[in-house]
Amino acid sequence: MSAVQTRQVGPEDGGQRLDRWLKRQFPQITQILIEKACRKGEIRVDGGRVKASSRIEAGQTVRIPPLPDTPAAPPTPKTGISPADAEMIQRAVLWKDAHIIALNKPAGLPSQGGSGQGARHVDGLTEALTFGFKERPVLVHRLDKDTSGVLLLARTPRVARRLAEAFRHREARKIYWALVAGVPQPAKGTIRYGLLKTGGRGAGEKMRCIHPAEVDQTEGAKRAMTEFAVLERLAGRAAWMALSPITGRTHQLRAHMAEMGHPIIGDGKYGGSAQENLGDGWGAGIGGAVSRKLHLHARSLRIMHPVTNNLLDLTAPLPDHMEQSWKLFGWNARDVPANPFEDET
């Protein structure tokens, strides 16, 4: 193809990644070519620059630069994943049917590859999650590398589109559990600070909170909203929090809690590491018994099943390091409501 062309995304293709859509349209192109063309701004969606991983919607127009006419060289045969990794990711399955797989993602395992994320990630381990299907399941949303908990994968493109649409329209209720420094006052409320990327990519990415009144005047800032509730407290030293992101911005929960002055324990990027809480800080009355790993866990997810229309209510057990902290403080999941925000929905 020697000329620039534009193509419109069809109704059946909305909600999928740009790179996957392009490969279906032009089987001869490679992932490397797509990513390079996106970086150079040669591939655009509705006139704007995009990433290879960007989601496209029905009706959008994609600008496509000249492409090679010859098919791409056959891919190098994959070595597969190790038996240990296959067993690990299969043990992480919380629930599955013919349409959806739900994982309890381990802390420390990235959802996808990328800058600073390494080669081992959930997306690369889906080969072990086919369970008789020809195609691998695809991620519907993501969790930060060090955040554990409920993560959904779709087993067909149609289900992936429907779930992605449900997340975009905020039709899912996600509740996270976190251990934070100090005890927020008031004990329940909503954080409405916007978020602005301050630089870095992948593991180096960091967000800055912007006052709600300044979001519209701040270039690049996006509105963000988080509901929070204190479930238990350790005197004034630490609190067990329920956090529900109404929007889904990068590092939203971590940045919002830090802005409140109560960073999530183990979050070195946003001020919650043990090293930054010495002396009279939160850790002074606890000692070294609490793990320095991030104490943030996607505890539950409620969403309508896109095929059966039944309510899907998923709950993920705490990771080992958070379970140890909960035992240390004498906290038990049976003593708190599964959804402290239920009276507001």
Per-residue DSSP letters for 69-85? Answer: SSPPPPPPPP----HHH
- Write out the two tokens for 192: 């409405």
Residue 257: the pLDDT is 96
Residue 279: the pLDDT is 46
For residues 81 and 125, the answer to whether their CB atoms sit within 8 Å is yes
Q: What's the pLDDT band for 24 if we cut at 50, 70, 90? A: confident
> Does residue 116 have a pLDDT over 80?
no
pLDDT (mean) for 135-159: 94
Sign of the alpha-carbon torsion through 141, 260, 177, 246:
negative
User: Other C-beta atoms within 10 Å of 48: how many?
Assistant: 10
Strands (E), the chain: 5-8, 44-45, 48-49, 61-64, 93-96, 100-105, 138-139, 148-154, 173-181, 188-191, 194-197, 207-210, 226-234, 238-245, 296-304, 311-315
Higher pLDDT among residues 11 and 105, named by residue: 105
CA distances from 252 to 61, 113, 172, 321 (A): 30, 20, 16, 22
Enzyme catalytic residues? 144
Long-range contacts of 256-260 (CB under 8 A, 24+ apart): 256/191, 256/193, 256/209, 256/224, 256/226, 256/228, 257/178, 257/180, 257/228, 258/209, 259/191, 259/193, 259/209, 260/184, 260/191
- Write out the two tokens for 111: 């959802």
- Write out the two tokens for 82: 């190790």
Q: Which span out of 75-84, 109-118, 247-256, 284-293 was modeled with the highest average pLDDT?
A: 247-256
- Write out the two tokens for 54: 């960007």
**18-27, 72-81, 212-221, 267-276: lowest mean pLDDT where?**
72-81
Spell 191-202 as b/e; 16+ CB within 10 A means b.
bbbbbbbeeeee
Residue 343: the pLDDT is 61
Helices H, strands E: what count in the chain? Answer: 7, 16
For residues 174 and 301, the answer to whether their CB atoms sit within 8 Å is yes
CA distances from 236 to 3, 70, 76, 257 (A): 66, 66, 57, 16
How far apart CA 209 and CA 249 sit, in angstroms, is 11
Q: Is 60 left (phi over 0), alpha (psi -120 to 50) or beta?
A: beta
Q: Which residue's structure tokens are 């701004």?
A: 41
Residue 134: the pLDDT is 86
User: Other C-beta atoms within 10 Å of 71: how many?
Assistant: 10
Dmax over CA atoms of the chain, in Å, equals 69
pLDDT digits (tens, 9 = 90+) for 54-82: 999 989 999 999 887 655 554 444 557 89
> Does residue 192 have a pLDDT over 80?
yes
**76-90, 146-160, 299-313: lowest mean pLDDT where?**
76-90
Residue 80: the pLDDT is 74
How far apart CA 162 and CA 169 sit, in angstroms, is 11
